[in-house]
Structure 1
Amino acid sequence: MSVSIASINSGSNGNCYYVGNQEGAVLIDAGISCKEIELRMNRLGLAMKSVKAIFVSHEHSDHIRGIDVLSRKYQIPVYLNQTMIHNGCVCVEKELVEIYEAHVPVTIGDLRITAFPKFHDACDPHSFIIQSENVTIGVLTDIGKACEQVIKYFKLCDAVFLEANYDEEMLQKGSYPYYLKNRIRSDKGHLSNTEALNLFINHKSALLSHLLLSHLSKDNNSPDLVSRLFNVHAQHTKVVVASRSVESEIYQISRSISPLLTEIVVKDKLTQYSLF
């Protein structure tokens, strides 16, 4: 069974990612209005009734802005971690709140959602992988650095939403105040183009079919720049830049292996065997 993925919106103005199959779907974050999420999903031909849960990565407004209205209107369970619940930083009706724990899969239909901690300036931020049969989708945004956990889960992905927030030179020369520049490039800020590219080059799976570059800064990055940067190293991976103003198309992700990928996998295995 293939998995459908789409970026509903991606950027500091709001983040929302769709992952689903024929049995149901989940949203990772809902940082734009309920009305806008409905409109964009409708344009994609995605039914809101297919969404069985919303998972919240952290409490910043660009990730939770639409959750209260969306969850109440459609009675969708919202998965938070204990810190978010304790701090009361996400407004959700009590009866709709569910709990996720780091590294413990949550089963929604035949989707398995696993959260893991990340570095970011929020109270208890997490990223997610979503698995269906042998397909793994990653949602790895708002990351200060590519720590061991990020690398571990990135390696599993058949498709991934990966943050490429800023170009170092554009940030340095830009108009942001010094404290904000330091926050963005700190270990609890965001992933730069270079850091994301290093993760992609050095740790991608041989079966990574789609890379959706996400959470680009409006002022400190350029879709054309980041697209060129990654496409040089893309090989068999389709590179897409997720927009901060419109939804992406729907991408179907499966584990069907092309002859080229088969050759790559075989070479990888032979390389691993030769080390012992």
Structure 2
Amino acid sequence: MSLFITSLNSGSNGNCYYVGNDRDAILVDAGISCRETEKRMCRLGLSMSKVRAIFISHEHSDHIRGLSVLARKYQLPVFITPATLRHSRLDAEQLFTIPLIGYEPILIGELLITAFPKSHDASDPHSFIISFHNIKVGVFTDIGFACEHVIQHFKQCHAVFLEANYDDELLDNGYYPYYLKNRIRSSKGHLSNKQALDLFTGYKSSFMSHVLLSHLSKNNNCPELVKELFDRNADGTEVIVASRYAETAVYTIVSS
């Protein structure tokens, strides 16, 4: 039994994550165009015919920009909280939407998806755990701080997409205005490299095989810097930096 995961894109210019088994798959967020989603999946040898649903974490444009075209083209159900849908400006009449409720598991084929609330400056933001038999993959991005919801789910995972948005020093010395720096580092903003590392070293399971560092800031982070930081503390977990320009490889996640 295995789960296959990839980041199709990760960053403020668009986010889209693929998780699936041999028969069924889902996308978490659809922030890049339908055409780019198709191209990147094709390069990886993945098929949209296996994708059964799209799960939306929150309404910011970098998470829903490509949703309408992709969902309509492939007649995919969209799982989204009512508040997120209201604030998204999506045309609900053009989409098959299903209300997403935290802690109510949803079965898609043999994939079990559980959403849970997180702290971010959106109307009703949620993160996700995707389970297949006893394998669990978590999507932990766009998080202001590691609340108990995040910590308890992080402990269970064999692999994670983990936000490492900014380096403190680069943000402090960068050109962003003061109010924006405060928003980014607030409890409803994003995880810094240090916050992500603290979550990783403090709560990762002994069986976590992969961490995909995600949603890196273009201006306030450095892929080489954060990878070196995590590599020093990996303790057997493979560290991958998800790109804002291209897809990652497909990684196979197995149970311990």
Deviation per CA, 1:218-256: give whole Å up to 9, x if none. Answer: 00000000000000010110000000000000000001x
Deviation string 1:173-205 (CA, Å, 9 cap, x unpaired) is 000001100000000000000000000000001
- 1:231 — aligned with what? 231
Q: Matches of 1:211 and 1:99 in 2, distance apart?
A: 29
Amino acid aligned to 2:186: S
- Identical-residue share of aligned pairs (%): 60
Using structure 2 for the length normalisation, give the TM-score: 0.98
Match in the other structure for 2:36: 36
Q: Which residue of 2 aligns with 1:113?
A: 113
Structural RMSD (CA): 1.0
Aligned residue runs from structure 1 range 61-140, under 5 A: 61-87=61-87, 89-94=89-94, 96-140=96-140
The amino acid across from 2:222 in the alignment is S
Aligned residues: 256
Deviation string 1:122-142 (CA, Å, 9 cap, x unpaired) is: 010000000000000000000
TM-score by length of 1: 0.91
Paired residue type of 1:214: S
Instruction: Flag the 1:67–1:10 CA change in 2: closer, same or farther, 3 A.
Output: same
Give the corresponding residue for 1:182. 182
Which protein has the larger Cα radius of gyration, Structure 1 or Structure 2? 1
Residues 3 and 19 in structure 1, CA contact (< 8 A), matched pair in contact too: yes
What's the offset of the Cα at 1:92? Answer: 4.3
Q: CA deviation at 1:88?
A: 5.3
1:83 to partner: Cα distance: 1.2
- For 1:53 and 1:24, the matched residues in 2 are separated by 9
User: CA contact under 8 A between 1:72 and 1:93: conserved in structure 2?
Assistant: no
Q: CA deviation at 1:90?
A: 3.3
- Looking at structure 1, the residues matched to 25 and 162 of structure 2 have their Cα atoms a distance apart, in angstroms, of 20
Q: Supply the distance in 2 between the matched residues of 1:153 and 1:36 (Cα, whole angstroms).
A: 31
* Letter paired with 1:149: H
Deviation at 1:104? 0.8
Q: How much has 1:91 moved relative to structure 2? A: 3.6
Counterpart amino acid of 2:109?
Answer: G
The unaligned stretches of length 5 or more in structure 2 are none
Instruction: Indicate conservation of the 8 Å contact 2:68/2:95, yes or no.
Output: no
Cα 1:36/1:92, change in 2 over 3 Å: farther
Distance (whole Å) between structure 1 residues aligned to residue 62 and residue 189 of structure 2: 15
Q: State the secondary structure of the residue aligned to 1:245.
A: coil
